Amino acid sequence: MKKYVCTPCGYVYDPAAGDPEHGVPPGTPWEQVPADWVCPVCGVGKDMFEPES
Amino acid sequence: MKGPFQAVPVTDKVYWVGAVDWDIRDFHGYATSRGTTYNAYLVMADKPTLIDTVKAPFADEMLARIRSVCDPKSIRYVVSNHSEMDHSGALPQALALIQPEKVLASAMGVKALQAHFHWDVPVQAVKDGETLDLGGERLTFMETRMVHWPDSMFSYLQGAGVLFSNDGFGMHLASARRFDDETPERFVEAAKYYANILLPFSDIVLALLDKVAKSGLPLKLIAPDHGPVWRREPERIVSLWAEWARQKPRNKAVVVFDTMWGSTDKLGRAAAEGLVQAGVETLVMPLRGNHRSDVATELLEAGAILVGSPTINKQLFPTVADLLSYLKGLRRKNLTGAAFGSYGWGGESIKLAQDALTEMGVATVEPVKCQYVPDAAALDAAHALGQKVAAKLKEALR
């Protein structure tokens, strides 16, 4: 599953790890991360993420 | 070479080579009523190392202080802990003179410096936990993303135990004194700095403080990039930061408003009486006489906020809109409150202020509004509003 990088702060969303502290269980692909989820580091929305190159 | 601007020894190897900005009163919207300092530090190892610089107009002052210790051209490494221009502004001028072997920053710092200076200077990205050998001294880097920018990092001098904490544990305070024990204003200004710069990142601050504690690194000295070096009680400012980051509500209310013809002012004063009589420490802050950043500071150790705005052309009063936008960004948690205000016909501002408070996560009670000039009943309603907020705050404090 593809990882996504937060462009402002560099946080990497890894689907294998998810973000369980904020309600995203491990194994959640990017497409299924809720639309209102925000970067746990800097707080921006999903639209500010890009696929990891 | 000794000129008027000299370095100040922090340890036998570390020198303060920063600049004092006695003039500045508006730091990107933060009222710096006592000015500020831009601290840069020189580590005199076999490979002399400069940690951070100063705001661009102060480059010559920094370079003069460096010259009181060594020839700037002998500096081999330059570390940028933070790319914000109060610390990086003098970098281009300094690098042109110094011609160091290496310029180092965090991975995000490399990008941010490029986006500021659009230069061809190669900057080496350092990793979290990486250690640089300065020849006789070792400097370890610690990423501190979003404390308070994505690029922010700390550098730690092993042995001497000096944490170069960049904006961490800093304050805006122009002074000829360089150390905490010489600075009676330190906690007031440190609180203002936390409230206005760090508050939105409080969860990340707590995680960082935990990481620093778990690292086991002894913090003998904390050398921030603004304000005094913490040498007498570095642990005190660390514990204050943890306390501020937890944002526990206190038995204190801030009543803040602006007014057109004195009516919203009257409501605010009546509400404040209600709070005081219910045993809440209360501060009244009319916005014509109080800066947004001072309101934010008072809220740091408060538990309630009452916001008053008259209606002007169906909108919030401009100063109140300014304040609410500012406070929304600072994301203060765990507050109780309500809106109030006077109006002529529409009365939209009271709902707008109440909605803004709700959006900020403030636990609210019903707002109070009054047409034109408050009569005795309207003043009683405002007084009761103060008492209702006090009662709700007491519940939150239990």
Q: Minimal Cα–Cα distance from B359 to chain A, Å?
A: 15
What element of type H or E holds A19? none
Residues from chain A contacting residue B145 (CB–CB below 8 Å):
9-11, 41-42
Looking up tokens 């052309």 gives B313
Which DSSP string do the residues of B77-140 spell out, in sequence order? EEE-S--SHHHHTTHHHHHHHH--SEEEEEHHHHHHHHHHH------EEE-TT-EEE-SS-EEE
pLDDT of residue A10: 84
pLDDT of residue B391: 98
Residues from chain B contacting residue A41 (CB–CB below 8 Å):
145-146, 150, 204
- Predicted TM-score (pTM) of the model is 0.94
Kindly indicate the confidence band of residue A8, based on its pLDDT and cuts at 50, 70 and 90. confident
SS3 state at B178: coil
Q: Tell me whether B286 touches chain A (CB under 8 Å).
A: no
Residues from chain B contacting residue A8 (CB–CB below 8 Å):
150
DSSP type of residue A34? -
Q: Tell me whether B207 touches chain A (CB under 8 Å).
A: no
Determine, for residues A10 and B108 on separate chains, whether the beta-carbon distance falls below 8 Å: yes
DSSP-assigned beta bridge partners for residue B312: B315
SS3 state at B384: helix
SS3 state at B354: helix
Q: Tell me whether B107 touches chain A (CB under 8 Å).
A: yes
Kindly indicate the confidence band of residue A41, based on its pLDDT and cuts at 50, 70 and 90. confident
ipTM over 0.90: no
Angle at B289 (CA atoms; ends B287, B291), nearest 5 degrees: 65
For residue B13, how far is the Cα from the chain centroid? 29
Determine, for residues A42 and B108 on separate chains, whether the beta-carbon distance falls below 8 Å: no
Determine, for residues B145 and A42 on separate chains, whether the beta-carbon distance falls below 8 Å: yes
Give the whole-angstrom CA distance, residue B201 versus residue B245: 8
Residues from chain A contacting residue B108 (CB–CB below 8 Å):
9-10
Between chain A and chain B, the number of residue pairs with CB atoms below 8 A apart is 18
- Read off the pLDDT of residues B314-369 as tens digits, 9 standing for 90 and up: 999 999 999 999 999 999 999 999 999 999 999 999 999 999 999 999 999 999 99
| Pick among B145, B148, B203, B205 to test the A interface (most A CBs inside 10 A) | B145
Give the whole-angstrom CA distance, residue B69 versus residue B208: 34
Bond into B148 cis (ω within 30): yes
Which segments in chain B show pLDDT lower than 70? 1
Determine, for residues A9 and B145 on separate chains, whether the beta-carbon distance falls below 8 Å: yes
pLDDT of residue B48: 98
Give the whole-angstrom CA distance, residue B198 versus residue B30: 13
Determine, for residues A41 and B146 on separate chains, whether the beta-carbon distance falls below 8 Å: yes
pLDDT of residue B169: 98
Which domains can be identified in chain B, with CATH numbers?
8-245 (3.60.15.10), 253-392 (3.40.50.360)
pLDDT of residue B1: 58
pLDDT of residue A43: 83
* Chain A residues touching chain B at CB-CB below 8 Å: 8-11, 41-43
pLDDT of residue A9: 83
Determine, for residues A41 and B204 on separate chains, whether the beta-carbon distance falls below 8 Å: yes
Residue scoring higher pLDDT (A42 or B112): B112
Going by C-alpha positions, the residue among B335, B333, B337, B371 that lies closest to residue B354 is B337
What are residue B104's phi and psi, to 5 degrees? -125, 140
Going by C-alpha positions, the residue among B271, B253, B250, B288 that lies closest to residue B350 is B271
Q: Tell me whether B145 touches chain A (CB under 8 Å).
A: yes
Measured from the Cβ of residue B76, the count of other Cβ atoms closer than 10 Å reads 18
Please give the positions of B annotated as active site: 28, 82, 84, 86, 148, 167, 193, 226
- The residue of chain A nearest to residue B331, with distances taken between CA atoms, is A43
Q: Tell me whether B108 touches chain A (CB under 8 Å).
A: yes
Residues from chain A contacting residue B112 (CB–CB below 8 Å):
none
What element of type H or E holds B372? none
For residue B298, how far is the Cα from the chain centroid? 13
